[in-house]
Structure 1
Amino acid sequence: MLVSRQAPLQSFNTFGIAARAAALVRVRSEQDLRQALAAPDLAGLPRLVLGGGSNIVLATGEVRAAVLKMEVPGLRVLEQTARHTIVEAGAGESWHGFVQWTLAQGLPGLENLALIPGTVGAAPVQNIGAYGVEQQDRFHSLDAIDLRTGRPFTLDAAQCAFGYRDSIFKHAPAEPGGLGLAGCAAILRVRYALPRQWRPELGYLDLQRRMAEEGVAAPTASQIRDWVVAIRRAKLPDPAVLGNAGSFFKNPTVTAEQCRDIIAREPQVVHYPLPDGRVKLAAGWLIDACGWRGKRMGNAGVYEKQALVLVNLGAADHPATGGEVMTLAKAIQTSVYERFGIRLEPEPMVV
């Protein structure tokens, strides 16, 4: 277990926001985590679990917590059932690296989720998704430690209560013993069930365009992975070059009646009907329609190629502050609400 005091966090969040943690603990094993939970000198600090830092905004310059940086490694094939191959990855593994590894093993199923930044341990928390697939579609189970008691536990998909960019790990317990696990658990390992009878997920228009452009009627999983990587790189900035936390707002859902009302006023609004009768609206389109693309407030700005992404426009030695990012985010929320009557919800966790 490695512990640093007043540790800089700028290199541990993809937005590149400068902040310091009261303590930073590098957790590379279950034993490291147990030692951190038992350490007397850390006992008085709140705990903040950190994965790849790709879905977090450090709103202030001081994080008054023991930051548990999850770096648990490990990749392995566990077993084969009649329908699935079960694979396991340590929480600290790169998500994209894990996707690449599964394909190298001849195990398709995660290719639509290629190039999503962050770690495997963070994937269930956010229930990451892209191009017609969410991680819950392949999820099997996970192992975690209760930060309050130090006890290990295992959850299956139903117990994780997955929703759109949501899970039990994003909800605080309503009362002692409640079901929410926000701030109460650290994920150690995650398992996925990959289908032995694989079928490509090609419902998104961007993928259909790639099929037409390349004249491929039946793409392989690796081809889909390559397309997804190319599409994401064309649309989204590389955090190593331009700090960001990916999509900053969730796509809002509205009733069919609300959608008809918006279409009557804004016929070009991008929308997607859902199986339950509701309609998902493209948050990026709403933001763009309000004129925010390419705008900036201080050192925080809206990405010029995709209005859904907020970016750090400051220099490495003078980056955007968390306050600037949140001021910009709130201004965008106000604009969208005033024009469309819709409240946008941030996707990253704000600390």
Structure 2
Amino acid sequence: MKKIILISSILAVLFIILLNFNFNHGGVLNYISPKSMYPFVPQYLTTSVLIIAPPYFPNTTGKIIDEGGYTLGNFLLNWSLDLSDNITSYKIYITDNEEVGFNFSNFNVSLPKYVNNYTDTTANQTYKRFYVVRAENEYGSDNNTAVWGKYDINFINTEENKGMNLISIPVQPLNSSIKEVIIQNESNYKISTLYRYNALERKYDVLFYIPSLGGWTTANGQFVSLEPGYSYWVKIKDNITYPFGGDFYLRNVSIQLYNTSDNEGMNLVGWSSIKRTPIKEAIIQSSTNYNITEIYRYNASSLTYDIIHYIPEEDRWTNASGKFTHFEPGYGYWVKTRENMTWLYLANNLTWRS
């Protein structure tokens, strides 16, 4: 295929040179039908004469936006424009179910080729929503499967838990800086403190939200962004449902786990995927080659941990308390390892098609 495209491109260039030579040297220009050149016209040749292939897909981004007050959840999509004759419109495909995926034979929104953004003002009516933007012309649409969207996390504040919730971010934000991920201001804020655990030093880096300063300040350590693979303790003032926006690309997440004399192998990690995944699929090990021995999931309502243990003799995980068999979006986990290791898992392993 690459050879065909290369040959087609060379022929197109030679044709243009020939036209230029005839025009500039008084030659007689004979009309050549575009159809007679098929299939030697290169794909994506954007002239007013002939387009024989779908267009390139647009470079899309997306994020949560604040439309005033604390009603977050509206989602803004932006994409790169192609104003040539190769584009007739942009189609937006939407789904609230990542397992069912998108119906690419039936678009949800159609926009003219000179529009490069779309705001979904109904996104806050569901706890998760996903989008794909595709460029279209008379020959069809591109095959873009870059997925952006939002995922909500519930935070609870009770007399017992003092507003402390252990969470991870199940999306990759467009901008991971804390002020871009957590949208609040002096007059309207609900999240007051963030804690990130440092397994090597066995301490927490802490950030406080200072309303009078309109931003976050560090008490010790240094972190300015919310990253995949980490878990965070989040302290809130009131019960809230908070939306996190970003992309849901298929990616590998790499987490370094440590076992030292101080931390006893305990690491605080995040599940940075929207796919609910069985523990045994997410942690690849065997009875003769294993490091991760225990996993703890915090329950903010009961202030207890559900715990599972790895049984090497049987090569399986077993519950010590509660029902806990999968890694789930939005949760943070304590993971105990016997040795220093790198845990690698595949995030968002979904087809996204229907």
Range into which the TM-score falls when normalised by the shorter chain? under 0.3
Question: Whose strand proportion is higher, 1 or 2?
Answer: 2
| Bigger-Rg structure (1/2) | 2
| TM-score normalised by length of structure 2 | 0.23
Give the TM-score normalised by structure 1: 0.23
